[in-house]
Amino acid sequence: MPQYDNTIEGETRRVHIREVGPRDGFQNEPETIPTADKIRLINALGRAGLKRIEVASFVRPDVLPQLADGVEVLRGIDLPDDVARQVLIPNSRGLDNALRQREYFDEATLFVSASQTHNRKNINRTVEETMEEVRRMGKRVVDEGLRFCAVVATSFGCPYEGKVPPERVLDLAEQFAEAGAMEIGFGDTTGMCNPAYASRFFAAAIERLPGIEVTAHFHNTRGQGLANAYAAFEAGCHSFESSFGELGGCPVPKGSTGNIATEDLVSMFHEMGVDTGLDLGRVIEAALDAQATLGRKLSSHSIVAGPVAWSPRDRGRSLPC
């Protein structure tokens, strides 16, 4: 398995940001976004410099009708060759359906909740049942030459069970690694994390998972998303997931909204002198396009304020009103 280096050497500091809005964001919208609009927005994100985009889900269409056109989206997008297309897969049946479209994506994400109650409400299985299936699915994903990514949801707290022991979360992460996962993301599914805990947790996760890309997925439900991302970064985490326009959330429970906005995360890192490889102005333009498409004001700060004027990367870029 390729080894992931969680250190930053020399004067150059860089983070990797994966865009999850086209899946995690769109699935939480009350209406269904037209396929053509989804394709246009994803293409715009690819032009902003993102190298990994979560494009679709193979969850049953009756469960998430907002993503029922996933195959059409995968076939319709036109991304640069160096942009990896990722899909979310809930179970073996979803994997069967996904592999019929194997030529259209590069990475597959499998997931579990650290909370038994959330896992049952989300996918109607126990954690143990899910992980037993993950072991079988992971082998198939790896055998197909796909990058196997994993997500542990409710890593920082559960709205039904309260505190989730970090040892339980890290044990699940190790099981994913044993099943072949190259990357493991830890999801603050309903925005229950805080910066002090994020710092301790990611330091422990990086130590427990050598050679694995450790990824932070924070929600801004209670306004602490960027602070948590900064704390994770300072603890050594350099891989993040975010959603343009601050779209997203979790269908279970209702009201669990608010991934951190990609443009706000990028702006923060650029002002800290940390390279993201992204064109902030273009990310903001994509978020503004999403706002116009949805016909409502989105909650990202950067789509209102724009880039900080003295940033060399963004100086002189004009943004549409």
What are the catalytic residues? 250
95 to 18, 100, 123, 138, 210: CA distances (angstroms): 21, 9, 15, 10, 28
Percent helix, strand, coil in the chain, to 5, is 40, 20, 40
In sequence order, what are the beta bridge partners of 219? Answer: 259
Of the candidates 52, 87, 51, 91, the residue with the CA atom closest to the CA atom of residue 71: 87
Of the candidates 79, 94, 82, the residue with the CA atom closest to the CA atom of residue 134: 94
| Side chain identity, residue 213 | E
Residues with Cβ within 8 Å of 124's Cβ and at least 6 positions away in sequence, in order, are: none
Burial 312-321 (b: 16+ CB within 10 A, else e): eebeebeeee
At 23, give phi and psi (nearest 5°).
-115, -65
At 19, give phi and psi (nearest 5°).
-90, 125
- CA-based angle 218:66:283, to the nearest 5? 50
